[in-house]
Structure 1
């Protein structure tokens, strides 16, 4: 209404002096006289200043006479305390420590493979045999020599116990027997390496090398064995969570491929922070009673790293920031019966976020009426009117 009055007054003033001024201005322009043109311009500037002063006076009067209140319409919500469980979302892969590709400890020909793919085996069970290259014959000869050395030693010992013979003969017999025994033990250890045994109980997942192939110690993969009982997820956690992500923390594991969600916990946290990416490793136990969880499955993790029983949570969209980097919200105070109150700016401190929700840690009390819609357009100390959608819908 104020703007309409102002335009109306300006129009009247311009209309009252428009005709003569137009002709006068045209005449001055046609004169091509610099002095005359400058003089005319000065007159117009003076007239404009006078008009502005009159408009200002009219606006002030309108302001005192107009009883209609023009205040912005806003919506609010009430701050209240509630339980807040913040979760850290990460991604990892399922693995197991009982997953091993078996390689031989001896060079030679793989003469026998005693198992097949999918077969369950026990710890210590013989899986394959490698040709020993004649070691069996050598050990037979060494055992004969060892038996002879043992007999000689025992006889020499009996004589020595009766103070018969020289000490040097006794010691030589003892040394010969012990060296023969050591030679037999070493050869037996070599022969034992030709037998491939299961390092733990599990299932033969893949037989890689066929019977009759030449294998090299520590290089040729023979077969892969896996045990699905002790499954876990290994995940890298940013170092900023080192004090919150600890052993025993609850974890929700989602396996998208299986459409399965498991509630478990952290069973181990490493004490080493990787300097390359500033992370540490956490292990999450994964129960696998149905044996449907396989190694290398992708898993999504939600780790409960922070819990507050009495947190004040607000939408991030209602928070603004000033030039000093301080965060603030607007609350409504001194609200009357007509739901008209005053917008008050409150500087707040915030904590953790979850989605579009953030925790307020300081300067906001439960029960405060916080401006939601319209928060970006109000100013500190401005009058505002709170609208309620239910009341608006009933009208």
Structure 2
């Protein structure tokens, strides 16, 4: 008999993982304490930063810092000129190109390039001999025709005498009278030809039509020139007086017309590029008759004596035209600021604090602005450093003694932190 098959051993059940142990009370307490300390640290750091940013720091120019040194000026009553500033171009009254009226050989040039010439001054000569010969020929023709005319008049007088004696036909008298008229016309033509020939002789002498400054020479002596050549031999520009043309805003047109209607002379200054030097002083001359629609301006012109020749043709200058003057309280332009509610200034009080005061601004120049409301003469206003200020801030004026440093105790601007830094460690 076969042995019985042994039964398989029963499989042991898998062991379950041990359940997590609940955290102890001490660990939970330590975690809560760490979170609380972290929150306190973050809050304390934020408070410290906020506190530090709100404290005045000497010498750093913070808001209201006693160490913020500002520029200042005193409001005063003055005569403020109402001006119009514009960019102008110097334009001469006359620019003339010297062109020969007759052709020929240029024999002489009697000027120096860049020379100031006077009206009527001889500048160059063209060979006059061909024109002198033409003049003599015209004179000879005139003399011959005048002699024929005189003979015809004598004959006419004789015919009229014979006609009264009934010794000649009237037809002969009329024919002789017509001949006299014909010869008179011929003589008139001869005289015109002689005058034209004499004029050509004068054209061989090139003179200055106006006084001014002559430019560079374009033709040298010995060259043949032609009548009315496009280039000419030189250019004369009138320098004294001289005009400046500039553009005026159309909004200023009523003010200018009102002053001109009163007969008031409007002074005009021509300034250099930096507006630091006055080149010349003149007067307003006239306005154009149309407004430029592309720019909204109208052209104006001022005239200057230019005695020192400081203005040069086609030169760009800054123009300042004074319309009128008004009495007003003025401050530097840099003292007036613009905020959401309009213009304002920082007024400096006696205790060296500033007050932001709204003002109403009037006319202004490049340097000064008129204050029509909100300011009294004698008050001090901030002109520089106002961007670092707010209402009620402490300031230092130029020349004031600086405030005490942070090492002067708790009363200093950084006293509490200074004391903390100087506090000694407790004895061991």
For the aligned pair, the TM-score class normalised by the smaller chain equals 0.5 to 0.7
CA deviation map 1:14-46 (0-9, x unaligned) = xxxx974945999xxxxxxxxxxxxxxxxx9xx
Q: Is 1:80 aligned to 2:96, yes or no?
A: no
CA deviation map 1:110-149 (0-9, x unaligned) = 2643735479777275842354496336414531442134
Shift of 1:185: 0.9
Where does residue 60 of structure 2 map in the other structure?
Answer: none
Q: Is 1:215 aligned to 2:207, yes or no?
A: no
Q: Is the 8 A contact 1:267 1:283 kept in 2?
A: yes
- State the structure with more CA Rg: 2
Distance 1:124 1:390 in 2: 66
Matches within 5 A, 1:310-389: 310-323=327-340, 326-331=342-347, 338=351, 343-355=355-367, 357-372=368-383, 375-376=386-387, 382-385=391-394, 387-389=396-398
Q: How many residues get paired? A: 323
Q: Is 1:284 aligned to 2:276, yes or no?
A: no
Distance 2:217 2:106 in 1: 14
Shift of 1:272: 4.5
Distance 1:137 1:236 in 2: 51
Where does residue 54 of structure 2 map in the other structure?
Answer: none
Q: 1:238 aligns with which of 247, 251, 254?
A: 247
Call closer, same or farther: CA 1:378–1:390 in 2, change over 3 Å.
closer
SS of the residue 2:269 aligns to: strand
CA deviation map 1:61-99 (0-9, x unaligned) = xxxxxxxxxx935766432112434573645448574x6
Q: Is 1:249 aligned to 2:241, yes or no?
A: no
Distance 1:111 1:338 in 2: 86
Call closer, same or farther: CA 1:215–1:375 in 2, change over 3 Å.
closer
TM-score by length of 1: 0.60
Q: 2:204 aligns with which of 176, 196, 201?
A: 196
Q: Is the 8 A contact 1:94 1:294 kept in 2?
A: no
Distance 1:281 1:232 in 2: 13
Q: Is the 8 A contact 1:160 1:170 kept in 2?
A: no
Q: Is 1:178 aligned to 2:155, yes or no?
A: no
Q: Is the 8 A contact 2:111 2:124 kept in 1?
A: no
Call closer, same or farther: CA 1:267–1:186 in 2, change over 3 Å.
farther
Where does residue 109 of structure 1 map in the other structure?
Answer: 104
CA deviation map 1:359-388 (0-9, x unaligned) = 334443323443456644666xx5444644
Shift of 1:237: 1.2
CA deviation map 1:255-288 (0-9, x unaligned) = 99xxx96553237445445747643333322114
TM-score by length of 2: 0.56
Q: Is the 8 A contact 1:156 1:173 kept in 2?
A: no
**Unpaired runs of 5+ in structure 1?**
1-17, 27-43, 56-70
Where does residue 150 of structure 2 map in the other structure?
Answer: 151
